[in-house]
Every structure is written in C-alpha cells, then in structure tokens.
Structure 1
C-alpha cells in the first residue's frame, strides 16, 4: 500500500468493488447505493459544535476520506485517501412554516440531498444536512454512499459522533481504533484459491439461476419501496425455542422459510438467494469497533426435498453455512464466475443484528433533563438493486420483518401478501418443526393466482 505526504492508496474490498461497478456502470441511472440516516435532535443544540464533531469523524477515520478511482495502468480500482477533506455541511431553517409545511419542506430537502448522489472519485462520500424546526428542535440528515459504511458501522458512527459532540467537538477522548486498512491487509492474506474451490463445491450441480422475476439486463435501477410487519413476543419466542431445540440460529429459521417461499415463486426445488454477512473476522483485533464496509453478499443454496422434515432441512442449511464461514470474504462476482449461472439470484436476505444503537433506544422524558440534547432515530432511506430484499431485525419485543421491493415490478399489495405468507410459513414451522417440507402451506389459492399469473410470467412452471 502506497503512502505519500498527501494521501494513501488502498485496494478495495470485494463488496466495494461491486458497489463501485454499479455506481459507475450507468452514471445517468438512479444511484440506489446512496442512503440516508435521519435523527431528531430535541433540546439545546450548538450547530457549530455538531459541525466540528462531524469534521472530527472525518479526521479520525481515514477511510471516510476515500475517493474511488480506476487508475490507468492498474488492473484493479483503488481508493485514494486524502490527507484532509472538509465535511460537506448545509443548514436549512423551516421554523417559519406551519407544522405540516415544515415537515413537507424538510422531507423535500432530504430527498433533494439524496438525489444529488455522489461522484465516487471525489471525497468525502458523506454529507450532513441540519434542519432547524425551532430553538429546541432540529433534524440531522446524514447522506452517504454505502461504499463507505455498512449497517453495522452506523451505530458506531453515531455513538462516536455524539460522544465527540458532548466533548465540545474534541475527539481526543475516544479510544484509539484500528484503521480500516488493517482489514484490507487481512483480506490480502487469505487463501483465495481455497475459497474459490469451497464455493465451487457448494454450488456444484446447480445449473440455472433462481429468479422470481424475468431477467432484463436493460432494466434501470430504481429506489425501492417498503412494507413492514412485526411478529410479537409470543410467536418470536416460539421461533427462538425451535432454533434452540435444533441447534440452529433464528437467522437460519427465517432463511429456511424464505427458501420455501422463493421455491414456489421461482419454480425451483433447489433454490439460491443472497444473504448479507457481517464480514468482520473475529481474529482481527478491534474489528468490532471499526468503521467501514465489511459486509458481503453471498449465495445461500437450499435444496428442498418435499419428503424431508423442516427441522432437518434447517440443520442441514446451517451446516452448509458453517462450512463456508472461513470463505465468506470472497466477492460475489468472483463466486459467480467460478460457479456459473446457478449462483445467480434476484432476492436478498439481510439479518440486521447490529450493535446497540443509542439513537433508537426509548428516549427519557424531556422533563428529566431539559438542558440535555436527546437524539432519536427517525429511520432513513435505503435501497438495493434486487427486486426483493427481506430484512429481519430481532428485538426484545419481537421480530420486525420488512420487504424492500422495486415498485416497477411489484405493487404494495403483492409485497404485503408475500410478507404475510412468510409469517404464516414461520408460524406453521414453529407449531410443528417436524412437518414435511412438502406439507408446509406456502401460497393460498388467491395468492397463487396473483403471484404466478400476474407478475411471475417467467415461462417456468411453479411447483406445488
């Protein structure tokens, strides 16, 4: 890795390479890999200290100052780390507007900022927008390209940001953290030949893609929409008991249910879908506190035998995934080159088991300390280029499920029906883990007609 007085030059991680490809493949298309994170700030706020705190985060973490380039003479793209960059900061005041108008204008400003996108070569790929609603109410909108930060990193980023704010914009009190560069060095030391061989073995014999919609290479990216559903404590507890009784994780249980649903939608008894893995090697010191893009998207293969018990299918699924743990760093494009079309999929599963995020914790009453700043998460806007993405967020009060879908391929009703059907599969499996795979009710009659005839006209028969 090259160094100079002005910058460093680093390689890219596998997922960074993939995101850079999508960002530069069609510069006129919607950049679905930019996202926003919105926080409500209630109480006294010093905007200049908050701005200084954001700048301190850029100064502290070199990878937040990265620009991504395909340089002449180099076979692979690189990330060039600037010695210093200024935080893009913007303030807007909507306090003079009536309540509804202020909210509408704030939403418009956030959408406008997101639509600006990023030039991957020009750092930083991160912006702050502070919207003032009143003397004691503000909204902070952080827009960034996912090539910088993954979902695991965001709670760490926010924890550090507001820790620096409480220290008056001074980051010297934060504990030292290893740089993202250490992870890239770790990647360079892995046995890629062994990883390629492991993925070839895993996907051997799988000849055809698993698609729930017809492939169209000319289909432009679009921002996805979302439908949500929450499993309460009782059904979630039943799923946890099932997982514990059979030595699998809750994530594996949901993946198995998703595989059964995708099997019906795609007309395949041997299905592949994508799954996002944390990608943080436990042997790397300090990795749990690093900021950056560590996650990877990998194919999950689930052969479904109608005569097999669901609990046995889940045990086999977890065993397959455990055998691949040491090889989860290999990039998806490389896996698909090695394994062929059988490794291609168009649905994704994301198990959002992130570190504790203080901004989504229940806020204390304002009267408890009127002079303190309360920070609460207001969510954000995320997207992916897959037609369907299932998100799973475990919590004390149950299991939150959401489906992000392309609105040009699915309508809200269809997405909600699919999510409801997934919940029914989970409930059926929790009630009887020994039920045969072929006996699990996946699609009702009305859903069958709607899903198969209205939007899954792939020319492939859908199994019962």
Structure 2
C-alpha cells in the first residue's frame, strides 16, 4: 500500500456483492463467472486514435474504471481508486488474412479474452480490443469484470464513450471536452458516494425485515435436471423464447387492471414455473434489483456495480387467483425495495437453507436497464451492438426482456442441463404466460402449467 500512496485518489470498502465476487475470484480464478463482454460492430472508417483519447477521458470521469482490489496483507478487502489508470486497449489488424482466416482469428481473440480473466489486484479491470476485419469493418470488444460494472453501467459507458469519440471526429478540441467532463464531475456524485451511502444504511433493520419475509420457509426451490448435460468447454450457454405480441398485450392490460408493473407479471410467471417444477405452493428465488434507488445526485448516470440479489417469496394460498397473487407480489416488491441493499449472504446465513436458499435467479431488463441494442444512442447503420455476455454462478438464471414484446432468456450450465430440457422450461414459461393472459381471474390451482408436448 505504501508504495502507491501518492497515486491513490481514495480507498473504499466493498459492497456485499463485490465481496462475494472477490471471494469467488480468489476461490476459482479460472472461472469465467462475472466476466462481462460486449461486442460492437462498426461499419465505417473507424478512427482508432480518437477512440484511445475517448477512453482516457472516460477513465478520468468514472473513478470505478480506475479501481484495484487489495485483499492480501490487509484486515479487510479494500477498493483502491487510483488517480490515474490507463484502460488496457489494443488494435489488431486482420486484413492481411483471407476472410475465413479473419473470422477464425477474431473468434479466437474473443474466446481468449473472455478466458483470460482478471487479476483484481493488478489488471485494468476493463479492456478494449479493436479488430480490423476490412476497410470499413471493425469489431470493438469490451471485456470487464462484473465487480466494477453492471448492465446499466455498460449502457452508460458505451453511450458516453461514443459521444466523446463522435465529438473528436467532428473536430471538437480534446481540451474543451476534458474541461466539460471535469465540470460535470465537480457538480455530481461518484461511485464512492454510493459506497458511503451504503455503509450508512440500517443493516439490522434490513435483516429483521428479511427474517420476517422468510419466516417459516423450510423448502428448497430448484429446477432439478432430468438428464445429464453435455461435455463442453463453455461454462454458461443461453437460449430464449419470444412471447407473442397478442399475449404480451393482454399481460400489459392485466398489469394495468391490477395496478402492478409488467415486471411483477413476469416475476409471477417465473414463480408459477418454479411452483410447477417443485410441486410446492411456497417458493423462494432470487430477484436482481438495480440498486439505483439511493437518493444520490446523478446515480442514474454513474458507472459501477449497483445491482444486488434479494429473495422473492411466492406463497400461494388455497383459493387465491392470479390477480390476487399479482397484487401480493407487487406489494412485497414495494416493501422490499426499502431494504434491497442488504447482503444476500447475510440474509441466507440466518436461514436453515444457508447458501442453498437461492438456486434460481430472475432478472428483469427494460429500456433503462441492461445492455441491449436499444441502449446505444448512436446505434445506426454504422454502429450496432452485436453481442453482450453476462454470466452468473447460478445453474439457471432467467432473464425477461421488455423491448415492446416480452422475451425470456435462460442462462444455464450446459454440464448440468441439456438443450432439450432448457427448451422445455422455456416452453413452459410461454404456456404460463398464456394461462395468465386468459385465466388471470381464476384460482391458480385451476391453471395449467404443463405443455401439450410434455403431456
């Protein structure tokens, strides 16, 4: 620590989720869990020299991009913010190869960058590779460790990066842009303010609340695999299903009628899915929250790790209708939002299930959260999002995307679940959405959750 004191801007504690990710990194440094990767496809005369200048300004603006994590020879792990840190960046020209060789080498670079991982004490925790495939064909690969960013932050980062790049290409003076960024920094909070806010929250009050939510829960909620998965080098794969437009429209009408969000409808559908697999009227699963409900100036534009996972409990009573359940789940969500800063590890430590309390997690991504094509303001015919990768250490993660129509994705461990089994789970989600849209005023026990194929 003493050797770098003159280079340090600040030192913070870690949020509970960061502590969990750090532990996982120490425990299994070769795992690709928590490695995020984004690929942008660029179809114009890309000016890499301006892109490098934009990267330097982004690193100056967002302190979390200058983070290093110190955990050896200290009483507790610390997040150290360096005054200056260059984002690792590399330009690779593959145009001397034929087309087949270019694609092969590009795919290998993508794979190697993901598998390389990060040394949290030494590495730049975000790195950029720009691949030239043709005269006006480039790929920009952004690889980052989840410990410093999340989907919302990635969208902010990409937008700001290309805003600065476009200004430089258009001839705006570099120093003028730097001055504007410094003015913006001086008038808004940064990620360190969020950490300080987090430390001031009522930890015991939150734990008491979650104790009450989970009181009497003795079950185990998982989707048990029916057959062995396949041998593969991949630690996580993803499959999806789109909900028909007419079904999505009906679900929105039902949400409006019950004064609940479409997020709550999706949460309830996943709860009904788990109820059907476990054959239990009382299920608990993980719900990922944005973590941006803190009253901090400019939090919606900050880059950092804000998300958290908290329990969601769905207990179905005998004569309860789907409408009743939707209202109940919405009420629980409203109440829990006051305590969703609490550490999942600490919540679980007070239950009989311990770390096995949460086996499946649910994530809802709308227009303002996550990394999607609609999040890139500059997406045009020349710049587009080609690929976005996140990974968790859960066997199954269910993501619902609201981009007009609903779409459900499942990230899964292919060593545990087969493709066919995941297809069946997705089809069952689709069936449940149809049942909600048609039978929302009937008792839940009167709904059908098994598909015709499964029958």
TM-score by length of structure 2 reads 0.89
In structure 2, the CA distance between the partners of 1:442 and 1:361, relative to structure 1 (3 Å rule), is farther
CA–CA separation in structure 1 for the residues paired with 2:261 and 2:439: 17
Match of 1:19 among 18, 21, 24: 21
The more displaced of 90-99 and 288-297 is 90-99
1:299 deviates by: 0.9
Q: Take 2:222 and 2:330, find their aligned partners in 1: how far apart are those partners?
A: 23
1:388 maps to which of 365, 383, 396? 396
Per the alignment, residue 351 of structure 1 pairs with 364
Matched-pair contact (CA < 8 Å) for 1:58–1:64: yes
> Is 1:233–2:245 an aligned residue pair?
yes
Structure 2 gap ranges (5+): 169-173, 226-231
Match of 2:323 in 1: 311
Q: Structure 1's 363 and 199: CA in aligned 2 closer, same or farther, altered over 3 A?
A: closer
1:96 corresponds to? 96
Per-residue Cα deviation, 1:252-310 (whole angstroms, up to 9, x for no partner):
11111111111222232210111100011242111111110000011111012353111
Per the alignment, residue 107 of structure 2 pairs with 107
Are the equivalent residues in 1 in contact too, given 2:32–2:114 (CA < 8 A)?
A: no
* 2:423 counterpart (393, 416, 433): 416
- How many Å separate the matches in 1 of 2:390 and 2:424? 22
What is the CA distance between 1:202 and its match in structure 2?
0.5
Q: Distance in 1 between matches of 2:209 and 2:114?
A: 39
Please state if 1:428 is matched with 2:435. Answer: yes
What are the equivalent positions in structure 2 for 1:221-370 lying under 5 Å apart? Answer: 223-341=235-353, 344-355=357-368, 360=376, 364=380
CA contact (8 A) 2:162 2:378 kept: no
Partner residue, 1:400: 407
Which of 424, 437, 446 is 2:444 aligned to?
A: 437
Alpha-carbon displacement from aligned partner over 1:398-441 (angstroms, at most 9, x marks no partner): 11221111101111111111111101111111112112111221
- Distance in 2 (CA, whole Å) between partners of 1:427 and 1:243 is 14
Q: Which of these residues, 9, 12, 17, is aligned with residue 10 of structure 1?
A: 12
Choose from 195, 201, 219 the match for 2:212: 201
Q: Structure 1 residues 398-407 or 171-180, which shifts more?
A: 171-180
2:98, 2:360 → 1: CA distance?
42
Indicate how the Cα distance of structure 1 residues 40 and 443 shifts in structure 2: closer, same or farther if over 3 A, else same. same
Partner SS state of residue 179, structure 2: coil
Kindly report structure 1 stretches of 4+ aligned residues shifted beyond 4 Å. Answer: 356-365
* Partner SS, residue 152 of structure 1: helix
Distance 2:380 2:391 in 1: 31
Question: 1:59 — aligned with what?
Answer: 60
- Whether contact under 8 Å (1:350, 1:390) holds in the other structure is yes
Instruction: Specify every segment of 5 or more residues in structure 1 that has no aligned partner in the other structure, as ranges.
Output: 215-219, 366-373, 449-464
Alignment-derived partner of residue 179 in structure 2: 172
Give yes or no for contact 1:89–1:128 (8 Å, CA) kept in 2.
yes
Aligned CA RMSD, in angstroms, stands at 2.3
